């Protein structure tokens, strides 16, 4: 009888270990996905701040003699940064999609 109890106990432990490994893997995937979405959100906020900078610079330039917005160093730099951020966001979105489609 003790042998049967021991065998059933060992089977139960194996099932619990299997279930724990599945949950652990899934949790790891979810954390990675959420982390990727968080990075995307932070980059979107950076991009919005750069858009605000461009708008403020445009307004500041409108009161002066210079009205050529694209000649302004701040604007050129902000546009380059926005372009870089958009590329990074697209890569992260693709990565997030791959994470979900692989594990989903």
| Residues near 29 by beta carbon (within 8 Å), at least 6 away in sequence | 99, 103
pLDDT score for 57: 87
The domain ranges of the chain are 2-103
| Residues near 43 by beta carbon (within 8 Å), at least 6 away in sequence | 85, 88, 89, 92
Residue with tokens 């330039």: 61
Per-residue pLDDT tens digits for 33-73: 999 999 999 999 999 999 999 999 888 887 777 667 778 88
- Average pLDDT for the chain: 90
Q: How confident is the model at residue 20 (pLDDT cuts 50, 70, 90)?
A: very high
Name the residue with higher pLDDT: 104 or 17. 17
User: Is residue 12 over pLDDT 70?
Assistant: yes
User: Is residue 104 over pLDDT 60?
Assistant: no
User: Is residue 76 over pLDDT 80?
Assistant: yes
pLDDT score for 1: 87
Residue 78 class from Cβ within 10 Å (0-12 exposed, 13-18 middle, 19+ buried)? buried
């Amino acid at each position: 009888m003790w042998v049967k109890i021991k065998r059933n106990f060992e089977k139960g432990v194996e099932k619990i270990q299997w279930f724990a490994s599945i949950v652990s893997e899934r949790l790891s995937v979810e954390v990675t996905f959420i982390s990727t979405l968080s990075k995307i959100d932070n980059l979107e906020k950076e991009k919005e701040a750069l858009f605000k900078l461009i708008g403020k610079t445009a307004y500041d330039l409108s009161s002066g003699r210079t009205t050529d917005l694209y000649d302004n160093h701040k604007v050129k730099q902000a546009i380059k940064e926005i372009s870089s951020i958009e590329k990074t966001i697209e890569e992260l979105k693709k990565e997030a999609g791959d994470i979900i489609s692989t594990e989903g």
